[in-house]
Amino acid sequence: MKAEEHEKRREVLGGWEAEIVSYRIGETFYCHVNNVSPGATVARAEGSSREEAVNAAVSKARERLEATRRRKIPADEQD
C-alpha cells in the first residue's frame, strides 16, 4: 500500500511554528505534527477520517507545545 491524499500545511500551535502532515493508507488516515525547527515529532494520530486524525494530533501537539518552557538567552551569550 502507498500513501494517498497527502496534505501538508504550517500553523502556529502553542506559540510554536508546526508542520502538519496528513495522508491516507488504505482505509485509515494518519497525521504527523512536527515543530519546524528542529523538525522533531511532537504528536501522531490516526483515525477513520482526515478530520479525526488531524484534530487528535493537533490537540496533542498544542498541549505539548504549550507546556514547553522557553528560555531567554542573555545578550552576551548570543552569536
Identify the H or E element spanning 10.
strand 4-13
Contact in structure between 48 and 28 (CB atoms under 8 Å)? yes
Report pTM: 0.81
Q: How many whole angstroms separate alpha carbon 8 and alpha carbon 64?
A: 20
Per-residue model confidence as pLDDT tens for the chain (79 residues): 888 999 999 999 988 899 999 999 999 999 999 998 887 999 999 999 999 999 999 999 999 988 877 777 777 666 5
DSSP state of 48: S
Tell me which residue of 20, 68, 9, 10 sits closest to 45, measured CA to CA. 20
